Amino acid sequence: MTGPTAYLSRRVFDGGKIVPDAALLVEGNVVVGVIPQNDIPSDAHRIDLGDRLVTPGLVDLQVNGGGGLMLGEVETAGDIARICAAHARLGTTALTPTLITDTPETTRKVVDLAIEAWSSGVRGFHGLHLEGPHLFAGRKGAHDADLIRPMTEADLALYEHAASHLPSLIITVAPETVTPEQITRLSAAGIHVSLGHSGASYETCRRAVEAGASLVTHLFNAMSPLQHREPGLVGAALDLGGLSVGLIADGIHVDPAAIRIALRAKAGPGRIFLVTDAMSQTGTDVSSFFLGGREIFRRNGTLTLADGTLAGADVDLPASLKFLTGPLDLPLETALAMATSGPASVLGRPLGRLVRGCPADFAAFGEGFSVEGVWIGGERQAPG
């Protein structure tokens, strides 16, 4: 019988703190713990990662695509695996692929394939995020206004079915387009209701939170802004204690000053977590692609429609961490928690931490958050 494997490093982040000169001990596909190097069992196989920063695998709750595919384009569970693999090569070992506003037929197809992906054990797949179609057209961003629509009984039944067969389900809604009763029903089914693409008032958002909404989608973007007489969704996101919020940290979607203000307003890294809003170009070198028949242009780190409207983000989580710890000078432990244990806590799943019993999903980063190794279930993933 073989013993455990000890991954030695000068710095191991366990999801809450950095442990110096430690070893990550793994047995099979689970974590045993982070221990002093002097306590490594004699029968352990040692792998010395030197100065590389070892962290839990990154967790991304808003990923529209990757590897050349948008989630709405998938035709098999293997296609979902392709999206997950593109992000795994960038250190993201857990994600909830995201379907932006689409037809009822495409939504059902994606739900069915997502259930198949989970049942077949697609690596890195940990649920689904449906961003729309129940949004406010006035804050649609790059979503197709012709596909935005009210929530029906058939929709609710589909979402309840999906939630009963998936490890997690996030649904982004504009609170002014759904009823509190619908939000309560979704929440009662175990669905994480997120507020976004909305022009709602603070009071409307507050009622949505009382009904069961718990998240906000890509803070500051496509939502009613904070004003002194009407705080809007931004004000609700920063003020209401029941909301955790996703943030795109690429220096483009949100100004650094706004990020600093938000971090001061929301105590603790678990309340603001990083998302990429990544599109199909992630993991490729394409300069443009199509979304619902409209061309998306990739230029200078941005993705835009022809009219300049931002259409997702051209960023990955390691780049976001580099931005937060560089120009924003955020403490390393705080930034790492925003990409690991923070979003994992939102899902309520044993991810994003290197503690006993958690899956042995982790990554090793070099200088500037270069990805130098990724493991899922204790197995090293092939570089892309």
Report, as residue numbers or ranges, the catalytic residues: 277
Q: Is 34 helix (H, G, I), strand (E, B) or coil?
A: strand
Got the DSSP string for 239-281?
H-TT-EEEEE-SSSSS-HHHHHHHHHHS-STTTEEEE--B-TT
Distance separating alpha carbons of residues 95 and 86, to the nearest angstrom: 11
**Spatial distance between the Cα atoms of 171 and 109, rounded to a whole number of angstroms:** 16
3-state SS class at 26: strand
Q: Given its phi and psi angles, is residue 220 left (phi above 0), alpha (psi -120 to 50 degrees) or beta?
A: left
Strand partners, 97: 63
The pairing of beta strand 294-299 with beta strand 288-291: antiparallel
Provide the residue type at 181 as one letter. E
**Cis preceding-peptide flag for 133 (omega within 30 of 0):** yes
Both tokens of 95, joined, read 């994600």
Q: Please state, in angstroms and rounded to a whole number, the distance separating the CA atoms of residues 108 and 131.
A: 14
Helix, strand or coil, per DSSP, at residue 171: strand
Give 92's strand partners. Answer: 58
Query: How far apart are the C-alpha atoms of 120 and 116, rounded to whole Å?
Result: 6
- What's phi and psi for 10, nearest 5 deg? -70, -25
**Amino acid making up residue 218:** H
